[in-house]
Structure 1
Amino acid sequence: MTSRTTRADALTCEVVELLGEVVGRYHEEYDRAAAGHALTGAQARVLALLAYGPTPMRQVAQRLKCEPSNVTGIVDRLEARGLAERRPDPGDRRVKLAAATDEGLRTAAALRDSLGDFAREPLARLSDADRAVLRDLLRGMLGAP
Structure 2
Amino acid sequence: MTKAPRAEAPGVDTAQLMELFSVSLGVYYGDFTVAAASENLTASQGKALTVLRRGPAAMRTLADVMTCDASNMTGIIDRLEKRGLVRREASPSDRRVKNVILTPEGERVTDAIRSKMHTTQEGLDRLSAEDRSSLYALLERVFVARPDA
* Residue 82 (structure 1) aligns with: 84
- Structure 2 unaligned regions, length at least 5: 1-11
* Residue 39 (structure 1) aligns with: 41
Give the distance between the partners of 2:53 and 2:132, measured in 1 at CA: 28
C-alpha deviations, 1:46-69, integer Å up to 9, x for none?
A: 012223332111111111122211
Paired residues of 1:26 and 1:122 also in contact (CA < 8 A): no
Q: How many residues align?
A: 133
* Residue 71 (structure 1) aligns with: 73
Deviation at 1:13, TM superposition (A): 4.5
Return closer, same or farther for 1:79/1:135 CA change in 2, 3 Å cut-off. Answer: closer
- Structure 1 unaligned regions, length at least 5: 1-9
Give the distance between the partners of 2:78 and 2:15, measured in 1 at CA: 41
Return closer, same or farther for 1:39/1:133 CA change in 2, 3 Å cut-off. Answer: closer
Give the distance between the partners of 1:77 and 1:36, measured in 2 at CA: 16
Give the distance between the partners of 1:97 and 1:119, measured in 2 at CA: 31
Deviation at 1:73, TM superposition (A): 0.8
Deviation at 1:132, TM superposition (A): 3.4
Report which stretch shifted further, 47-56 or 68-77. 47-56
* Residue 133 (structure 2) aligns with: 128
Report the TM-score, using the length of structure 1 for normalisation. 0.75
C-alpha deviations, 1:51-102, integer Å up to 9, x for none?
A: 3332111111111122211111100111121211211111210100111222
**RMSD of aligned C-alpha atoms?**
2.8
* Amino acid in the other structure paired with 1:65: T
Aligned ranges for residues 1-145 of structure 1 at < 5 Å? 11=13, 13-118=15-120, 125=127, 126-129=131-134, 131-133=136-138, 135-136=140-141, 138=142, 144-145=146-147
Report which stretch shifted further, 49-58 or 83-92. 49-58
